Structures are given as structure tokens and as C-alpha cells.
């Protein structure tokens, strides 16, 4: 999967084409094993729950939950949590994590663009690095706002276009052109785009740029992990010829070299993301 950073918010593809893109994306995220990456990002879910200021007893929905980082963070705060994703295997990973921690969570397979919940069902709606990848961005934002009660909060963690993961998708996009007419997921990392997406359905948006530190044994270690387990990178390498794979790897190594702050053979790379709290 690649990302078209030049696309600007307005979809120019048909509903049928969006459905086909979604089916391809589902296969991408089902490939590899995102849980191997997701567990390293747990701190983002914890920080987001604090930013949203969750209250014990609240009904919380985690959208495009992956293996459940926001899910578990909210459950640890004694909220009633519903965890949703369209990849069943990821929900199963989240379910096993919840069982180990002995927290009660309702896990449901669901499409972020068509949430099967009544209007105003939740006090808070969360998504970390999940809903930003939906092909129909306007519909996904509308659904999150719809199921959040008046006065409730929507919390998001979205990679920024300028940050390490945003630039990773740009590197991938040089080798695998993105679907024409599809707005970039990286736009969710821009506050002005979120204001357009959520519009008059919300009363305020607070956004803070934060770093997630990728700490790995070496650039080789990071590349091996992401090439094996992270769906977009896994699929990108699998889709290229041997020569194309080598070019992609060189591009990723150059990218890591630009961001790496370790000063030694290890890898310490800040991955900038936008932490967002939206008031319904």
C-alpha cells in the first residue's frame, strides 16, 4: 500500500472504487502481523487516554483498534470498552491481551465507515493509527462523530506527513503508486484537515504534535521487523522485483539515516504523530 501525499481531502473516486480499495487495504493489514508492531506503540494509547481525560465507567469505543492499545488503556481506567476492527486476527490478539490482564472488553468486527451502533452511544471514541487509513475519510469521521454523545470526546493519534512514518509512506509511494484520486491518510495528521472532516459536528479540536521513539537494536533490526510484520511494508516488498526490493530498502535506510538520533549502532528515531482531542 502506498500513500499519495499530494491528494487533498476531496475524493474523486466512485463508491465502487472505494469499496475495492478497502478490500485491498484489509488484505494489507491482515498480512504480516500488526500486533508485533502494535504492542511497541502501547504508550501512545496510554497517553491518548490521558489527553481525552477518560472517566471510570464511561462507555468507550476503540475504532480500527488493531491489537487493542487504546482498548487496553481505556479498560485499565475502568471504562466499559468496545473494541472494533475489520481484521478478525487483530481482534483475537486484543482479546488474548485483555484476558491476560483480566479486563472485560467487548470485541466486535466492524467497519469504521459503517459503525453498527446507535447515535450518541459512547462517551468517548478513540483511534490510534487506525481510522486514518480508511479510504472514505469523510464517512469515517462522520461515523465517529455520530456515535459519540453530545459533550463527549473523540481522541485520535495520527502520523504526520512530515514525520518518520509519514515519510516512510512517501518512500514506499515512489515504488508503488497510490490509487488515483484517493485522499492521503497522512492528511489526518494535519489539524486543518481534521477541522474540514469533522466540521460543524464538533465544538472544538485540540491538537498536539508528539514523538513516538522507535528504539531498535539497529536500522537492520527495524527493517527486518517492519518488512516481516508491518502490513504496508510487508506487502510493498512482496510486490516488487528483487531489484525493486533493493531500491526500496536503500530508500528506507536513507530515511532512517536522516532521522536517527542514536549516535551509535542502534536506532532511536522520533516518529512524529498528532495527538488530537475533539469535543463533540
pLDDT of residue 277: 98
Q: What is the DSSP letter of 114?
A: B
Burial of 95 (0-12, 13-18, 19+ CB in 10 A): middle
Whether residue 157 is predicted with pLDDT greater than 90 in this model: the reply is yes
**Ramachandran quadrant class, 206 (left: phi over 0; alpha: psi -120 to 50; beta: rest):** beta
pLDDT of residue 17: 65
Q: List pLDDT tens digits, range 76-102.
A: 999 999 999 999 999 999 999 999 999
Task: Give the E-state strand segments of the chain in sequence order.
Answer: 59-62, 80-85, 105-109, 122-128, 148-159, 204-216, 267-279
Secondary-structure class of domain 15-279 per CATH: alpha beta
pLDDT of residue 13: 56
Percentage of the chain with pLDDT > 90? Answer: 81
Whether residue 11 is predicted with pLDDT greater than 80 in this model: the reply is no
Q: List pLDDT tens digits, range 239-272.
A: 999 999 999 999 999 999 999 999 999 999 999 9
Longest Cα–Cα distance in the chain: 54
Burial of 153 (0-12, 13-18, 19+ CB in 10 A): buried
For residue 247, give the nearest of 177, 174, 167 by alpha carbon: 174
Total-model pTM: 0.90
All structural domains of the chain with their residue ranges: 15-279
Amino acid at each position: 500500500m502506498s500513500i499519495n501525499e499530494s491528494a487533498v481531502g476531496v475524493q474523486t473516486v466512485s463508491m465502487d472504487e472505494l469499496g475495492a480499495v478497502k478490500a485491498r487495504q484489509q488484505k494489507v493489514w491482515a498480512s504480516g502481523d500488526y500486533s508485533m508492531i502494535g504492542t511497541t506503540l502501547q504508550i501512545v494509547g496510554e497517553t491518548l487516554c490521558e489527553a481525552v481525560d477518560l472517566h471510570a465507567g464511561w462507555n468507550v469505543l476503540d475504532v480500527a483498534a488493531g491489537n487493542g492499545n487504546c482498548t487496553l488503556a481505556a479498560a485499565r481506567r475502568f471504562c466499559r470498552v468496545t473494541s472494533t476492527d475489520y481484521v478478525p486476527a487483530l481482534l483475537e490478539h486484543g482479546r488474548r491481551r485483555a484476558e491476560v490482564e483480566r479486563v472485560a472488553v467487548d470485541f466486535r468486527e466492524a467497519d469504521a465507515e459503517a459503525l453498527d451502533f446507535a447515535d450518541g452511544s459512547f462517551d468517548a471514541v478513540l483511534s490510534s493509527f487506525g481510522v486514518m487509513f480508511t479510504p472514505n475519510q469523510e464517512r469515517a469521521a462522520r461515523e465517529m462523530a455520530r456515535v459519540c454523545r453530545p459533550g463527549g470526546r473523540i481522541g485520535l493519534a495520527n502520523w504526520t506527513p512530515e514525520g518518520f512514518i509519514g515519510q516512510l509512506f512517501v518512500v514506499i509511494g515512489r515504488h508503488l503508486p497510490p490509487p488515483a484520486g484517493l485522499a492521503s491518510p497522512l492528511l489526518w495528521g494535519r489539524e486543518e484537515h481534521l477541522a474540514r472532516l469533522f466540521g460543524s459536528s464538533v465544538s472544538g479540536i485540540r491538537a498536539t504534535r508528539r514523538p513516538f521513539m522507535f528504539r531498535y537494536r539497529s536500522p537492520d533490526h527495524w527493517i527486518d521487523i517492519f518488512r516481516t510484520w508491518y502490513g504496508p511494508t510487508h506487502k510493498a516488498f512482496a510486490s516488487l522485483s528483487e531489484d525493486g526490493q533493493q531500491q526500496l530498502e536503500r530508500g528506507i535506510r536513507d530515511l532512517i539515516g536522516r532521522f536517527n538520533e542514536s549516535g551509535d549502532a542502534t536506532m532511536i528515531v522520533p516518529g512524529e504523530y498528532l495527538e488530537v482531542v475533539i469535543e463533540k
